Structure 1
Amino acid sequence: MTDLELVRDLSEEQLLARFVPLLPTAASTIVGPGDDAAVVSAPDGRFVVSTDVLVEDRHFIRAWSTGYDVGWRAAMQNLADCAAMGSRATSLVVSLVIPGDLEVSWVTDLARGLADACGAHGAAVVGGDLSGGQMIVVAVTVHGDLAGRPPVLRSGAQPGDTVALAGVLGRSAAGLALLGAAVADPDPTLVAAFLRPDPPLEAGVRAGVAGASAMLDISDGLLRDAGRIARASGVTIDLLDPADSVPGDLAALSEAAGRLGIDPLTWVLTGGEDHGMLATFPAGVELPAGFRVIGSVRELGASSTARVTVAGAEPPVTGPGWDHFAG
């Protein structure tokens, strides 16, 4: 039996030579990996920039996630942040911390996951950094192109706007719950939604073109993220009854919820990391393809407190959504 090749068996240059050729390229890249810095075109003189990080045993567990899974997730959560501004991602910079006893194949699989996630959307990985450490950390910075349009902020929602969603709700949270409970034969679609989310990136761009007044991607749960728009815009976000607005999401979660003794509504309203696009649109604007109406924007009312309601009342379930520092 051949021993596995480990990261510590290679020099930094040898390891880079293994995975850099696997990374995607794009026409927007002027200077790619290999120099002290990359050079990327910014056609309209601006670029969108965001960053995110995945930490082993906090955001992923190696027993559940392959290198490919982690590379895919690291790319998609950053691509979704870009799309939520109404922009199209052009380039990513990836910094990687890895322990010496990690298999080299895990690192090359990570590169393949990054490549497949980015390549389908025309984004390149143009550089980054590599370091040793006690656990795996994947830090990604993404750049995006607005193509001359204004960015879509969280602060633009106005009373009378329509609240709409592109993408799914609760799938990733359900997949994580099934993995955490070590359920036998878990729903593969739900598990895949956690390991390899597939957000509606083009819908974010279409929303920007259509004139969305506010938008973000649902990374931390519908209630939590809708609350961010409400507070930034100084409005109330009133969501429709999920049984009427997102019955398909509830149905998709019902079997898994039954196995775990969980109300599927909890996953729909508080589950994060599906990275769907939550947007508001002025009255009369035709919703772009992929969006469905899930609520409306209202004035603050007598309380003068920005908040989220469901069918005009307090949400039927409570929960913080994802919080990086929650116990």
Structure 2
Amino acid sequence: MSGTTELHLGDLGERGIQEHVLRPRYGDTEGFGDDSAFLAKVTTPSELVATTDSCPTPVVNLLAEPDLYHAGWLLATINLSDLAAAGAEPLGLVVNYTLPKATTVREFERLLDGVDDCCTEHGTKVVGGDLRDGAATQLTATAIGRCVPGSRLRRSGARAGDRLLLTGSPGYLWAAALLATGRATLPASERDDIWRRACRPMAQLKAGKVLAANGLARAAMDVSDGLFATVRTLGEANGLGAAVSGDFDLGEPLAQVCAQAGLRPFDLAQTWGDWGLVVAVRAEDVALATKMVREEGVAVQEIGTLTADGGLTAGTAPWRGIAQERFSASSWHGGDLSTLVPEVLSIPA
């Protein structure tokens, strides 16, 4: 919408927002303006799955300008990541935005850009939603997907002896935080790449779908609250423990960040914010599962084994890891980076 940089949503009103901001963007979407969203004509047998999540304050907004683009991208990723954990193909995203009237049209458009760009990158789109005014920003979405019948992944279904695979590339978000707070330094090109990947985490839809459709995954969960919380929850869902390797391959730029900050690659890998996927596979299927995920252009590494003893170890020691757990002292609500970085990475302030 040209010439509206200084306009606020309160200046346009609901009908004005609909006509001047939303219709030019979504007017070609089937069902635009209706009370219900149209998802897709399902012509083959499938199982439908749905998930809903709200978006917290993005860490990257504390590292730089509070651009709503980052919140939009993260909102879509959070919800699509849950579909990845089910091995589902996304059919669409339904969004719900509560925004102050003082939000500018430009800020709102940046939010929409972030959601739309993330959806496009993941092969889906916004199909409907709701917009209302409120005292504080609150962003929520619901993602709907479909699975091949009988292939839907759950947290349960694993067995002792199954291997744990981690798909995706962990560590980029908090590596960006280490660089931003001066705990490490890299050439500009490498800093820029880490920043880009921190701002645009990818849901592991390709990995989840290929592993589920080929019957290679027995259980799965996305890494939303940290690797420790994910492995612990998977273990609890199956009455098992886990022995996780202390060796992680993060690639050279992140390895340099760890070395400069006095961290092990494992310390960075177990953080949250990069939206990987932990999948339990049979020992005999590890090679094939790894090959198929890599053929999708997705990074994957074996990180451990589910055990019958119920305990959690990392390397040779008990694992008392980092978890971003809701309704606890570690629940993420933003804050000051000078204290957050040491807390999340367990390093001296």
Query: How much does 1:88 deviate?
Result: 0.9
Q: Deviations over 1:272-300 (max 9, x none)?
A: 12111110112322213233222122212
Cα distance in 2 between the residues matched to 1:104 and 1:22 = 13
Is it true that 1:189 corresponds to 2:193 in the alignment?
Answer: yes
Question: After superposition, where does 1:24-63 map in structure 2 within 5 Å?
Answer: 31-41=30-40, 42=42, 43-44=44-45, 46-56=47-57, 60=61
Q: 1:98 Cα deviation (Å)?
A: 0.9
Which runs of 5 or more residues in structure 2 are unaligned?
Answer: 295-299, 330-349
Letter of the 2:35 partner, please give it: D
For residues 149 and 49 of structure 2, the distance between their equivalents in structure 1, rounded to whole angstroms, comes to 12
Aligned partners of 1:207 and 1:197: how far apart in 2?
20
The answer to whether the aligner puts 1:224 opposite 2:224 as a matched pair is no
Paired position in structure 1 for 2:207: 203
Counterparts of 1:24 and 1:146, CA distance in 2? 28
Distance 1:261 1:240, change over 3 A: closer
Q: Deviations for 1:38-96, whole angstroms, at most 9, x for unmatched residues?
A: 23245535311111111448895595342222211111121111011111111111000
Q: 2:218 aligns with which of 213, 233, 238?
A: 213
1:22 to 16, 21, 25: 25
Q: Cα distance, 1:178 vs. partner?
A: 4.5
One-letter amino acid matched to 2:308: E
CA 1:324 to 1:33, structure 2 compared with 1: closer, same or farther past 3 Å?
farther
Structure 1 residue 152, shift from structure 2 partner: 0.7
Matched, 1:73 2:77: no
RMSD: 2.9
Indicate the larger mover: 181-190 or 120-129: 181-190
Aligned-partner Cα distance in 2 for 1:139–1:124 = 15
- Measure how far apart 1:33 and its partner are: 2.8
* 1:172 maps to amino acid: L
Secondary structure of the 1:297 match is: strand
Q: How many residue pairs are counted as aligned between the two chains?
A: 311
Runs of 4 or more consecutive aligned structure 1 residues displaced over 6 Å after TM superposition: 180-186
CA distance in 1, matches of 2:318, 2:63: 39
Q: Which moved more, 1:251-260 or 1:215-224?
A: 251-260
Distance verdict in 2 for CA 1:200–1:227, change over 3 Å: same
Find the counterpart in structure 2 of residue 248 from structure 1: 250
Change in 2 beyond 3 A, CA 1:324/1:193 = farther
Kindly state the Cα deviation for residue 241 of structure 1 after the two structures are TM-superposed.
Answer: 2.6
The separation in 2 between residues aligned to 1:307 and 1:248, in whole angstroms, is 26
Q: Report the Cα distance in structure 1 between the residues aligned to 2:4 and 2:111, rounded to whole angstroms.
A: 22
Question: Residue in 2 aligned with 1:237?
Answer: 242
Q: 99-108 vs 51-60, which deviates more? A: 51-60
Q: Which amino acid aligns with 1:35?
A: D
8 Å CA contact 2:46–2:147 kept in 1: the answer is no
Aligned to 2:340: none
Quick one: distance in 2 between partners of 1:24 and 1:326?
42
8 Å contact from structure 1 (residues 19, 108) kept in 2: no
CA separation of 1:62/1:132 partners in 2, compared to 1, >3 Å: closer, same or farther?
A: farther
Q: Tell me which residue corresponds to 2:343.
A: none
Of residues 233-242 and 15-24 in structure 1, the stretch that sits farther from structure 2 once superposed is 15-24
- For residues 56 and 275 of structure 1, what CA distance do their matches in structure 2 show? 15
5 Å-filtered alignment, 1:280-299, equals 280-285=280-285, 286-287=288-289, 288-290=292-294, 291-299=300-308
**1:303 matched to which residue of 2?**
none
Q: Is the 8 A contact 2:63 2:180 kept in 1?
A: no
